[in-house]
Structure 1
Amino acid sequence: MSNDVIKVFVGCDPNNCDLEQMMVVDYSIHKHTSRPVEIIWMQLSHDPDSPWYSDPQSGAGWHTEKWATPFSGFRWGIPAACNYQGRAIYMDADMLVLADLAELWEHPIEGEAIVAAKEVHDHAKGKRFTRLCTCVWDCAKAKAKLPEQAILRADPDSHKKMMAKFKQHPEWVQAYTAAWNCVDGEGMPIEQMKILHYSDMGTQFSHKYSIPRLTAAGQKHWFDSDILPHPRTDLVELFDQYYQEALDAGYKLENYAVKPFGAFPKESQVGYDGNEVTRQKKPKSLLSRAWRCLSGRK
């Protein structure tokens, strides 16, 4: 494994909305990682031979209509894309890598575990859940646990079903230190973070660059709810620093641009309320909780 090229699968938008995020995560990976890295951008494709193929008109390929992002369900297709061999790191595009990915790549995945990921324990509510927005797959071990690709692609609910399945099977997850998926800071100082995940879709640092760029091109961002300031200015400054460093190092936004995929069905995020790290949660009324339950929103 020490001689392997580190494979990093990154979920991103197929219509060039996430160029800033792609550039920064690419630069930050290569800035800190001591070994060769291959980045595979996971974007919806019209190519039937692509692992990320989708044809909304015919209903072939991935069904995205219940995804919160343009790539939510792709993480389940990674072991198959690797022919169920070796390892693969998955991460969302909204990541800032601050440590050597070789350390994460070699994290133990033992026993019944098929993936290394972050486990969150909410002791107040007596709940436990897994965050798979940055994870390491043992692709061979995953084959016996994951449904066939045709099943995953055809079911609009497959992403939510798989998240529920992993909740039922904690033995499938090898927990790693929370620093590898630090969601919007979580009160952690920057020097202790290994990967910063600026997860709240409404407060992402990249919006101040991408929204004006897209507006000038007559295009809208795929996130369709309110844009708000991030509460931690030190993290805003950190992203800006890496953004400028990437440009100074010769990275260019146009290097990440693709022929736009075009329209695709996706769950609207209107009314999106972020997470408890970025926003102080107000107690929901009984009526509000009932409505969110009936509508299938979290």
Structure 2
Amino acid sequence: MTTSNGNAPQGANNGGASKPFKIFIGYDPREDVAYEVCRHSILKRASIPVEIIPIVQSDLRQKGLYWRQRDQFESTEFSFSRFLTPYLANYEGWAMFVDCDFLYLADIKELKELVDDKYAVMCVHHDYSPKEKTKMDGAVQTVYPRKNWSSMVLYNCGHPKNKGLSLEVVNNQTGAFLHRFQWLEDNEIGSLPFVWNFLEGHNKVVENDPKTSPKAIHYTRGGPWFEAWKNCEFADLWLKEMEEYMKEKKSNAS
């Protein structure tokens, strides 16, 4: 299942008929509505062609691409399958992985324009130690170095180092190796502005400073689709986007 916005390429940087920018979104059946709203928020604002592909664990298992056993600390079905992004993109061009618990408030074109071919990956370099013991619907909140770095990543899929994310590595390596980007040197991990992975409950908007205004909100502790987090910060923005998505879905079905 893939979705495209069908927008025509814009701007000189696209070189005419450029390929759609591939965006892989982590999918978990418990958070189906979060996936749909994240997808909707990207497509609605995108001024460049994008192709959205959900990373669905059951599909990957059926195709023989994912076989590792579920770990007790995995809070979502895409905790490790996310690292198949370069493989799923055929180790070509740039592609993005993002958790489903994101809400995009800006054009993805702005983010894509930040790519730098000298890096193997680019992400927000968070320094994040959550205080909560649980998140989402009661999942254990783990703390580890580079936490949340892997929640939104621009992958330079053709970079030689990303060939290191083979099926065998993704299915057998430790969580520490994968989530800390240990197949790379530190200077191969580019940095992105935090507003593209704005952690609800952690990052703050500074008054009169537009550089702190979120372009993508990450409901990492849990979003309004969970009862326990229905009153979290920026819940109103997510609920508004959900209402728009539901109206469009109903309209398209009629």
TM-score bucket of the superposed structures, by smaller chain: 0.7 to 0.9
Query: 94, 113, 124: which is aligned to 1:118?
Result: 124
Is the Cα–Cα contact under 8 Å of residues 24 and 98 in structure 2 kept in the other structure? Answer: yes
Change in 2 beyond 3 A, CA 1:28/1:46: closer
Residues 89 and 105, structure 1, Cα contact 8 Å, conserved in 2:
no
- Which structure is higher in RCO with an 8 Å CA cutoff and minimum separation 6? 1
Partner of 1:7: helix, strand, or coil?
strand
Once the two structures are superposed, what CA deviation does each residue of 1:147-205 show, in whole Å capped at 9, x if it has no partner?
431132134x2x3222234498321211011100001151127972110000003xx21
Cα displacement (A) at 1:236: 1.0
Among 159, 163, 175, the residue aligned to 2:179 = 163
2: CA distance, partners of 1:251 / 1:207: 23
Aligned to 1:44: 57
Letter of the 1:241 counterpart: K
Within-5 A mapping of 1:244-263 = 244-250=243-249
Shift of 1:86: 0.9
Compared CA separation, residues 128 and 28, structure 1 to 2 (3 A) = same
Q: Mapping of 1:84-163 within 5 angstroms?
A: 84-111=91-118, 113-121=119-127, 129=146, 131-141=149-159, 143-144=161-162, 146-155=164-173, 157=174, 159-163=175-179
- Tell me the distance in 2 between the aligned counterparts of 1:228 and 1:100: 26
C-alpha RMSD of matched pairs (Å): 2.9
Which one has the largest radius of gyration? Answer: 1
Aligned partner of 2:214 among 193, 201, 207: 193
Using the size of structure 1 for normalisation, the TM-score is 0.64
Number of equivalenced pairs:
215
Unaligned runs of 5+ in 2: 1-12, 129-143
- Alpha-carbon spacing, 1:5–1:251, altered in 2? closer, same or farther (3 Å): farther
Hey, what's the Cα distance between the residues in 2 that align with 1:109 and 1:64?
35
- Aligned-residue sequence identity (percent) comes to 21
Q: 3-state DSSP class of the match of 1:132?
A: helix
Distance 1:23 1:144 in 2: 28
- State the TM-score, normalizing by the size of structure 2: 0.74
Which whole-Å deviations, capped at 9, do the CAs of 1:111-159 have from their partners, x for residues lacking one? 3x2011001358xxxx98361211110001154562431132134x2x3
Contact 1:104 1:136 in 2 (8 A): no
